[in-house]
Structure 1
């Protein structure tokens, strides 16, 4: 049986197949959100945020009500969000200790070249002294080791 050859086409006027730059341009344009939709999403998020803040304020006001004895419970209000440092003596000590550690790092030791040279000379002199002391110690240890067969 003989079949005549049929021509298969992927790209037609009703269903075009995009390739190359045309395809990439279409993908890029589809990836960009509509400006009005994004504005609506942002506005909705802001409205939800405002509602949460109002609920938190209402809860704080509920806690600050006067008891039957006439006492009011005061809640802490942190100015910089919930990460504000508590005002305790222990936290002040920790902060002060950290600052003491940072202080020597901020000071410029050996700023001038002659200071650097002198510091190097002093280090070398200290190392030589230590080396000489170590030599003497080794000699003393060797001298103490006597051969005692019995």
Structure 2
């Protein structure tokens, strides 16, 4: 029995920490008081051949199973010993798009992702990814020098951060509108360049921009438009009046028919009562 126990213990020590295929496990703890460890599963970020990615190859570390209490600042502090970190970004799920990413807004996307997340950590050198894959834990997320807020303190901090700074909000809105105006101007310039140029099949694209610009209205033209609108409203009111009158005439006609029906019934009853011929 003793030999079997020793054999099982040795097998567990050889296997080490369980992790998904292709990933390395890094144990972390929220603080020194926590006894059980949580595991981050990390690997070098890679995509299939021929596909594009928003993250630089050989310098990006992909992390699974990031707990809610682990912030971007915490990951930056935990992985800084491996090498200079360029950026850290948390997401709800892995990024599979190949389009360029738009910058995040602090004010128009305020709701954080609830639950466990994934993270992309970009190092300045590829050696940072190699060093992160060989990290041994457990690593502490919250320390005395870098405490992580939890409980009521985190709720108060989140509420304080939810109140935007008016000046910073104005700057962000102005920046967004400038970028939007520039994008519209580029699209209009591109449309003007393509207008009138036949494509491969000989078709010519025609847009509204090719028409003659409309002349501004004069005072007399504005008065004519207003007069047409007034006549249209008067005609609509007249049609509604006729419809109401038609309904009233129908109701009156039905009332007269019912009255005549009752009178005819009374007349028939009277004629039956006055007839003198009685065969029996």
Is the pair's TM-score, using the shorter chain for normalization, greater than 0.5? no
Structure with bigger strand share is 2
Q: TM-score, normalised by structure 1?
A: 0.35
Structure with the greater relative contact order (CA < 8 A, sep ≥ 6): 1 or 2? 2
Structure with bigger helix share is 1
Q: TM-score, normalised by structure 2?
A: 0.21
